[in-house]
Structure 1
Amino acid sequence: MSELIRDTCFGHVLRLATKGRVLQYEEDIDPSLWERYIDKEKSGRMAHHGHTGEEEKEEENRGSNDYDSDRRQTAAAVPNQSSSSRDTSDTRVGSQDPPCNDPSGVIVDPEKGRDVSIVTWYGENDSENPQNWSKIKKFVVTGLICLLTFSVYIGSSIYSAGTLDIEKEFGVSQVVATLGLSLFVAGYGLGPMLWSPMSEIPQIGRNYVYIPTLIVFVFLQFAVIYAKNFGMLLAFRFLTGFFGSPVLATGGATLADMYRPAKRAYAIAIWGVAAICGPVLGPLIGGFAAQHKGWKWPIWELLWLSGFSLVLMSFLLPETSSSNILYRRSRRLRILTGRTDLKCEPELMGEQMSIKDIVLMVVIRPFSLTFTEPILFCLNLYIALVYGLLYIWFESFAIVFIKIYGFNLGEEGLSFLGIFIGGLFVIPPFFLYLYFVQEKQFNENGEIKPERRLPPAMIGAFCIPICMFWFGWASRPSVHWIVPIIGSSFFTIGAFLLFNSVLNYLGDAYPDYAASVFAGNDFMRSSFGAGFPLFASAMYKNLGVAWASSTLGFLSVAFIPIPFVLYFYGEKIRKHSKRARHDL
């Protein structure tokens, strides 16, 4: 339990308040352990040619045996020293001997080398490495990420339960009242473009993005509840979406921090169900409250739910970014040993980045990836379409179940349960497919060709139009209300298979840019989710439920070829990309 709490925000505050006397790390108790965290080979490479990778080919003119000869010369000419007493401020001024990197015994190249001791994991079983956490700890973190995702996503549709009351109180039309939903979705589409790349900076990590933004999200709900006019309501709805957004894109990166590729799909699947449950259960949870208490009561429910999530995450969510964990380890070791040469690789990379580089990474990278990579653009556009269809289709439920079948506002919320049940139905066969088929396709290094993630998407692509046609033509007084609800379950099956296949595919194809890639995906789908509901009412009134739903069905049919094309030709496209992975 102490290991779980130690790396949470509460744990950091407690360690700071007690000056590290509680929730101690092993090296706090025994500072001599610092040596086991040093990677001698990478430290030697830093001394020899200035980076931790293999020496570049163009440098081979110095002789292929320079590295080994440096080690032999050092072993013969430089006596062993007590490395624990060494401080890099001692640069051997006045000494005729060339400087030597202590951990590796390699002479520091005066032109390219750097005398640094690389801090890393102490082995394959390092308990601080998120990949090595116990199953219980991983399940707790996964559950917290799912809870936070649900708490934010529900904020979009829970508002829609009170739109009729908002129309009356502020004297606005139905389309204008819908802006409260659209701007919230727009906010959580734009937010990850900033927050997700920021979470990749080693000095910041995931938690220092999640917790502060969640605090703002919770307290902005008061501003929405006590809004004096409709303009103020819309402004704060946008801001709540913006500050609540990090988990919607970074949540996938958090899960990737903990789970190896072969097991990551299971976690992404559970997270995907939590994401679907938010907008699906919003009308149900908010419907009865809005019917009896008015439009403010659903926002109060959102406040309570997100506030509960904030408390749990502050006390139980540990940092999952390996870059941040290693950065804090190296900083802690420097304080304990007095050695200024102890640094981790992410920290060295950060030192080499200028302010311009950071701005480009945080602000520009998600947009450039989305609009310059054909794979990303096509898949993001497809997911955005599905997301937009979801929100425009939601607007038809009031027409179908209130006007056609005579449901009240609370009962209309119950009509969304078909979508929820579809999500529960699809999980068992999908997990069986992962276990018996996809896990066997991983190589001995735990890697898989990204295109092999796509077969479920090929099935899901057909489920979306099936749902639209079924729901549209079954929604009539002569057909029992259960029939369109059954048809609605196909949407969740299709969306689930598409989302999970695409998110895992993107994570495998662009592993070095995962958070930025997921942020771009979230931006595009949220843009569609924000815009589509604004014309939903007019579309369904002018075309009727049957033909309006059929129009959406025909649109989804046009996108069916995308997963098939990428499955057969995606590898060739990837290998022409500058940023996608080429070695699989």
Structure 2
Amino acid sequence: MSDRESVKEATVVSEEEALSLARSRPGEALPLSITFGANDRDNPRCWGFWRKWYITCFVSMLNIVTTWCAGAFSSGAPEIAEHFGVSSEVTTLCLSMYVLGYAVGPVLLAPLSEYYGRQPVYLVSWFLVCLFQLPLALAPNIGTMIVCRLIAGLAGGAPLTNTGGTVSDLWERNDSGGPMAVYGLSSTFGPPMALVMSGYIGLNLGFRWIFWILMIITGAFWILLAVTVPETRHSIILQRKAARARKTMEKEGLRSCDTTHDLHASERKNLRQLFALTLSRPFVFLFTEPITTFSAVYNGFLYGLVYLFNEAFPLVFGPTGHGFNVGQQGLCFLGMAIGPILAFLLSPLQERYYLRRVSENNGKSVPEARMWMARGGAVLIPISLFWFGWTSYSSVHWIVPIIASSFFGAGLYIVILSILNYVVDGYQTYSASALAGVILVRNVVGAGFPLFATQMYERLGYEWASSLLGFIAILLVPIPFVFFYKGEAIRYKSPWAREHFDSSEDHPH
């Protein structure tokens, strides 16, 4: 009998129960499949409340720090252009290369995470993020910076691959609203804060110190990561529990050591199969699943705007606008950082609505309820873009467009978090593939938008450039409304989502 056949017919038991059964019948090779027991201390969902919250906040901070590594470059861009004698387009390319690494990195790191676990991927990739700040700080030419930015971006994609999965490992579905809100905040609060934290560093210490300080920050987080964040992926933990049980059985001469496996053994794929799946299925979802397609389009546009503003803000608030220096330009991003925090404070309202809908549906999942607040968030985005555009005259007080950017940040947070939760709830076990497609498009577009930002704002004028973006945002407003009112019918037509239709399951992702 093959291992896969024995696992399919196996008795599902906890590690302790497996050992007890094997000892009661030492001469028999019992087919045993190990899962978590009740209140199992190895089950991440059974860990202490504050330990789970610490890990959630820590991995979300990794998400913030990697966005700092992406965006802080912009605070040193003018000096870098002058130092190496290159155009502003070339320095913008350096920003885009890191974000492009974001797009490719998760596709490469996801199968490694599934095969080796989340912790090794976190540790190795974060070490590389830290290490590649060194050649950036010492770079003798712009070519070195471009290449090292791409490599650092590839490694910096680890939180994009792992953080959402870590949250799912730790929290049950109906308890995950707050933790997912924190994760969503890290994705939207981090990029604008990159300019806030780095503006005066670039102004007073020079561009090389931006990378030295990022190296210190990423190094400190790597040490904490290695010491305080354990493996959380359920399949890997169960694999280790099964190996531990087999070792004990072997020592005691129990024949069941040859037929004891973990619960996921029959489904486990080798690394080649995982790469083939990871490199193909996200594209299948992107081109065949309307939910994934429109989520990717909306996410791509919004993240494109986030990184486009890295180039647009210096035009509006810099020497050609309000006359601010690099440090003051960085502080202008505070509005876009405060917006997500204000929206985050409203997330309990969204969560309360979602739980009420689940309760009314007899405890079964209602993904569409995740889009309740997104309808308002979607309307905020074009309003804020028009507001920002038509108050970007230097004769208008600088606080007015900054207030507009805070409304953009709020809308951004609400829509991004809603789509994230909707995709996870709608596809469940296939959500990793759907999200991989969304993240790929999101970061490819995020890498592309800054490349034409300066030219667009200079040729159209600051007012009409932002207005053009506002008109595009209006075209995307219906997406959350369609998901909220018609999402159930769309999901029912999907072979992937229909598999979990009206499901009360709660699998880690």
TM-score, normalised to structure 2's length?
A: 0.90
Q: In structure 2, what is the equivalent of residue 92 of structure 1?
A: none
> Using the alignment, how far apart are the partners of 2:259 and 2:426 within structure 1?
35
Match of 2:177 among 230, 240, 265: 265
Q: In structure 2, what is the equivalent of residue 552 of structure 1?
A: 469
> Using the alignment, how far apart are the partners of 1:47 and 1:301 within structure 2?
54
How do 1:214-253 residues align onto structure 2 when only pairs under 5 Å count? 214-253=126-165
Structure 2 residue matching 1:580: 3-state secondary structure = helix
Q: In structure 2, what is the equivalent of residue 384 of structure 1?
A: 300
> Using the alignment, how far apart are the partners of 1:544 and 1:425 within structure 2?
30
Q: In structure 1, what is the equivalent of residue 26 of structure 2?
A: 85
Unpaired segments of 5 or more residues in structure 1? Answer: 1-44, 54-79, 89-101, 103-115
> Using the alignment, how far apart are the partners of 2:159 and 2:437 within structure 1?
13
Q: Which amino acid aligns with 1:179?
A: L
Match of 1:138 among 49, 52, 75: 52
User: Is the 1:87–1:341 Cα contact (8 Å) retained in structure 2?
Assistant: no
> Using the alignment, how far apart are the partners of 2:153 and 2:309 within structure 1?
21
> Using the alignment, how far apart are the partners of 2:466 and 2:400 within structure 1?
15
Q: Residue 193 in 1 paired to residue 107 in 2?
A: yes
Q: In structure 2, what is the equivalent of residue 120 of structure 1?
A: 35
> Using the alignment, how far apart are the partners of 1:199 and 1:283 within structure 2?
31
Q: Residue 168 in 1 paired to residue 109 in 2?
A: no
Shift of 1:300: 1.3
User: Is the 1:160–1:283 Cα contact (8 Å) retained in structure 2?
Assistant: yes
Match of 1:417 among 324, 334, 337: 334
Shift of 1:298: 1.0
User: Is the 2:97–2:150 Cα contact (8 Å) retained in structure 1?
Assistant: yes
Match of 1:396 among 304, 312, 332: 312
User: Is the 1:401–1:412 Cα contact (8 Å) retained in structure 2?
Assistant: yes
The 3 A distance-change label for structure 1 pair 504 and 48 is closer
Shift of 1:312: 0.7
User: Is the 1:197–1:516 Cα contact (8 Å) retained in structure 2?
Assistant: no
Shift of 1:47: 5.9
Shift of 1:46: 6.3
Shift of 1:208: 1.5
CA RMSD of superposed structures (Å)? 2.1
The one-character-per-residue Cα deviations of 1:217-256 (angstroms, maximum 9, x if unpaired) are: 1111112222222112101100000011111232111101
Q: Residue 342 in 1 paired to residue 283 in 2?
A: no
User: Is the 1:426–1:493 Cα contact (8 Å) retained in structure 2?
Assistant: yes
The one-character-per-residue Cα deviations of 1:362-396 (angstroms, maximum 9, x if unpaired) are: 32222322233221011111111111012113321
User: Is the 2:191–2:306 Cα contact (8 Å) retained in structure 1?
Assistant: no
> Using the alignment, how far apart are the partners of 2:210 and 2:364 within structure 1?
45
Q: In structure 1, what is the equivalent of residue 376 of structure 2?
A: 459
Q: Which amino acid aligns with 1:228?
A: P
Shift of 1:178: 0.5
User: Is the 2:10–2:32 Cα contact (8 Å) retained in structure 1?
Assistant: no
Unpaired segments of 5 or more residues in structure 2? Answer: 13-20, 251-256, 503-509
Q: Which amino acid aligns with 2:281?
A: R
> Using the alignment, how far apart are the partners of 1:355 and 1:420 within structure 2?
39
> Using the alignment, how far apart are the partners of 1:279 and 1:298 within structure 2?
15
> Using the alignment, how far apart are the partners of 1:274 and 1:359 within structure 2?
28
User: Is the 1:370–1:520 Cα contact (8 Å) retained in structure 2?
Assistant: yes
User: Is the 2:111–2:271 Cα contact (8 Å) retained in structure 1?
Assistant: no
How do 1:257-406 residues align onto structure 2 when only pairs under 5 Å count? 257-338=169-250, 339-350=257-268, 353=269, 357-402=273-318, 403-406=320-323
> Using the alignment, how far apart are the partners of 1:81 and 1:502 within structure 2?
47
Shift of 1:50: 4.4
The one-character-per-residue Cα deviations of 1:394-426 (angstroms, maximum 9, x if unpaired) are: 321111112321211111111111112212211
The one-character-per-residue Cα deviations of 1:124-179 (angstroms, maximum 9, x if unpaired) are: x2222122221111111011111111110111110000111111111111111111
Q: Which amino acid aligns with 1:377?
A: T
Match of 2:69 among 125, 142, 155: 155
Q: Which amino acid aligns with 1:241?
A: G
Q: Which structure: greater helix fraction?
A: 2
Q: Residue 576 in 1 paired to residue 493 in 2?
A: yes
The 3 A distance-change label for structure 1 pair 185 and 220 is same
> Using the alignment, how far apart are the partners of 1:177 and 1:429 within structure 2?
38
Match of 2:349 among 399, 420, 432: 432
Shift of 1:81: 8.8
User: Is the 2:11–2:32 Cα contact (8 Å) retained in structure 1?
Assistant: no
Q: Which amino acid aligns with 1:259?
A: W
Shift of 1:528: 0.8
Q: In structure 2, what is the equivalent of residue 109 of structure 1?
A: none
Structure 2 residue matching 1:478: 3-state secondary structure = coil
The one-character-per-residue Cα deviations of 1:343-368 (angstroms, maximum 9, x if unpaired) are: 11212322xx4665333223222232
Shift of 1:307: 0.9
The 3 A distance-change label for structure 1 pair 81 and 143 is closer
TM-score, normalised to structure 1's length?
A: 0.79
User: Is the 2:167–2:180 Cα contact (8 Å) retained in structure 1?
Assistant: yes
The 3 A distance-change label for structure 1 pair 455 and 227 is same
> Using the alignment, how far apart are the partners of 2:118 and 2:28 within structure 1?
32
Structure 1 residue matching 2:42: 3-state secondary structure = coil
Match of 1:562 among 459, 479, 484: 479
> Using the alignment, how far apart are the partners of 1:245 and 1:130 within structure 2?
23
Structure 2 residue matching 1:319: 3-state secondary structure = coil
The 3 A distance-change label for structure 1 pair 329 and 446 is farther
The 3 A distance-change label for structure 1 pair 317 and 464 is same
Q: Residue 483 in 1 paired to residue 400 in 2?
A: yes
User: Is the 1:157–1:283 Cα contact (8 Å) retained in structure 2?
Assistant: yes
The one-character-per-residue Cα deviations of 1:110-132 (angstroms, maximum 9, x if unpaired) are: xxxxxx21111122x22221222
> Using the alignment, how far apart are the partners of 2:64 and 2:276 within structure 1?
31
User: Is the 2:81–2:91 Cα contact (8 Å) retained in structure 1?
Assistant: yes
After TM superposition, the structure 1 stretch with the greater mean CA deviation from structure 2, 371-380 or 500-509, is 371-380
> Using the alignment, how far apart are the partners of 1:188 and 1:447 within structure 2?
34
> Using the alignment, how far apart are the partners of 1:259 and 1:461 within structure 2?
28
Q: Residue 540 in 1 paired to residue 457 in 2?
A: yes
> Using the alignment, how far apart are the partners of 1:342 and 1:383 within structure 2?
44
The 3 A distance-change label for structure 1 pair 232 and 394 is closer
User: Is the 1:193–1:516 Cα contact (8 Å) retained in structure 2?
Assistant: no
> Using the alignment, how far apart are the partners of 2:348 and 2:482 within structure 1?
25
Q: In structure 2, what is the equivalent of residue 61 of structure 1?
A: none
Q: Residue 511 in 1 paired to residue 425 in 2?
A: no
Shift of 1:518: 2.5
Structure 1 residue matching 2:346: 3-state secondary structure = helix
Q: Which structure 1 residue ranges, 4+ long, deviate > 4 Å from structure 2? A: 45-53, 443-446
> Using the alignment, how far apart are the partners of 1:52 and 1:450 within structure 2?
33
> Using the alignment, how far apart are the partners of 1:427 and 1:126 within structure 2?
32
User: Is the 2:99–2:447 Cα contact (8 Å) retained in structure 1?
Assistant: yes
The 3 A distance-change label for structure 1 pair 564 and 85 is same
